[in-house]
Structure 1
Amino acid sequence: GPVSSWLWSFGDLVTSTDQNPVHTYTIAGTYTVSMAATGSGGSDVETKTDYIVVSEQPPVAQFSGTPLSGLLPLAVSFTDETTGVVTARAWSFGDTGTSAQQNPTHTYNDAGTYTVSLTATGPGGPHTETKTNYVVVSAPSIANFSASPESGGVPLTVAFTDLSTPNVTGWSWDFGDTGSSSLQDPTHTYTTAGTYSVSLTVEGPGGSDTLLMTDLITVHPAAQSIFRNGTGLNPACFLAAPPVIGTLWIGAVDSSVVPGTTLTVLLARTQSIPGITLSTGELLIDPSSGFLFNSFAAATGGLDQHSFGVPMNLSFVGNEGHLQAFLFGPTLQWCNAAALTVGFPTLNPTPTAGFNGAPQTGPAPHTVFFNDTSSGAISGWSWSFGDGAASTLQNPTHVYTTPGTYPVSLTVQGEGGFDTSLQLDYISVQ
């Protein structure tokens, strides 16, 4: 029949008189529910035993860590801040490391950025909190570099290469000659002979580091040579560029300056060397390798070239030398003395001498226009016209007044050294 009132009992001491109530259970458990309905015909009760089952809520996983950044190895202390009932914990530190402790400490041994997660499990199930890129571990920057070349003649340009690792953000170079740079891979030119130490300081997230390489760069003096072209009894008969350490030195004797005479080249050191006896006709460059230059004879009436290897061993360098070509004939004569400096190759290429002249034949007086065709960086010219006359012009004009056949030579000079072009019997004057 019709119902005039209702009485609900939800099993947790809470009741309701609504016809269709809504009830919230706040404690986990199993509840028996009953409802009593009353009308004009009386009342009736229905009971449903263990009708409602309320489970535990899962915990809410939360955590924090400190410190969250630093240099490796970095030890981070983690604190569990989970709410709710927790029966188990599972930590993942992002580097394959794990833990089941409530408040673990984990050490990171590799640089990187790490994501950390905590899974908290309770009667109501699991819950996970993940913090992406939570821990940042940096490695200290280690300074390292290379240089090329490490030695050479002045001026010496050196390319430096940064080999530092890892995560370098700044560079500070000191080249040892007051020069500096903040580039990663700088190039520096040394303009003064000497030995230089170079340092590199690098900056990175992990701080700074400095590497000093002592006496890394050796800058040698450039090769030099001064030839004293003979006059009178000392005709010019010997041609050579500066002897350069570690290269092949070539000397040439022109015996046509005195036709029919055999020339013998003798090389002798003008300075005494304590404890070493020198023989005439020899120039000692390195005592450990023996005498370097020996006497040689040039063929009669022509140009004779001889080459000698100049060693790299610098235990002693005979850099002040004396060079002579002696004529053996009816009377003993000599020609073309030269003061030599043995040095090192420069970065500037040696110029290449070349020339032409026109007309090459004609009656006396014969005017010849000479044209320099040399290549390379050249700062000076020295002409020998074969009749005792000379010029330092680049493109000279010369008048031959006496019939004969004349050799012509041109020596050019630049920062890279010397070179000579000799053309025998080049000018014929009738």
Structure 2
Amino acid sequence: MTASIITWLAWVLLVPPAAQAVVPAADFTATPQSGVVPLQVQFTDLSTGDVTSWSWDFNGDSVEDSVDQHPLVTYSAPGTYSVTLTATGPDGADSLTKADLIVVDQPLPLADFAATPLSGVAPLPVQFTDQSTGDVTSWSWDLDGDSIQDSTVQHPSFTYATPGTYSVTLTVTDPGGTSSKTETDLIVVTYPPPVAQFIADPSEGTKPLTVSFTNESLGEITGYAWHFDADGIPDSFADNPVHTFADSGTYTVRLVATGPGGEDEEVKTDYITVTEPAPVAGFVSDVTSGFAPLLVTFMDTSDGVRTQWSWDLDGDGQPDSDLQNPAFTYVAAGTYTVSLTVTGPGGSDTATVVDYVTVTDPPP
């Protein structure tokens, strides 16, 4: 009897145990960790383990400030801040506190100011306006450049009694420190200049126009310069000049008066008006009488500048031509009055000749 051996091969399936949750280990970084207000800080979660939620306390008051994983926070007040991150997962939670992690400083003040006016004659009052930034608590002004404090008010007014050039320094202080600003040669104080003023007679008329100028300037004056044609070159150095304007136009007159305290000028824009004279109308013709139909050619003989012509060639009061030298045919016998009106920049004028043209019927 044959013995048979039956071998059972058993395959054993090994199943690993269920995965175990890893307890969180809270960790984080912050960038930057110091600066001046307002300070914006980026927090980055570096926690390990199975984390499903985050709770941040950014200012150490034990109150939750954010649940974001990587929050961006702005610190708006100076101080030193502790930060806590609590990382929570299925198998628990972990907290990490970094004491005094964020240091926020008060920014230094930035001294700045304005002044008005910056120049003038003595005595010159000047108003200074503080334009500094920061939580400024005190002001120190040196207003004449002698390194001695002249005022501690925020917006001082100061009168410069003596001509000269003055530097101004403002020093401001706040909890963050001190800042100074110096404006060198900021204020310029001069002696009073003369006051230039004048009148003219006449101030308008037709060309050529002769004008007498009367100087009414005030103060200690050593010289005058008159400008009549805006070319930048003085036309007279006399006290009371007489000037003839040969061309039509509108003229600006400028008087510069100079004295020990400087100079002053008066400018009168478009002060003198010179116009073209009105034209003087006149005319002739090649013939003044004849048989109908009579062709007459008229010629303008007017004087002066003219730009328009209006002819009444038959005495009916209606214009018959606007040409300068028209030709006109008289078809009916009669006596005709002729008028010419000429117009130019200076005005208009009319010449009328009564019964100027005589037209007769032709002989049979």
Q: Give the TM-score range, shorter chain.
A: 0.3 to 0.5
TM-score, with structure 2 as normaliser: 0.39
TM-score, with structure 1 as normaliser: 0.34
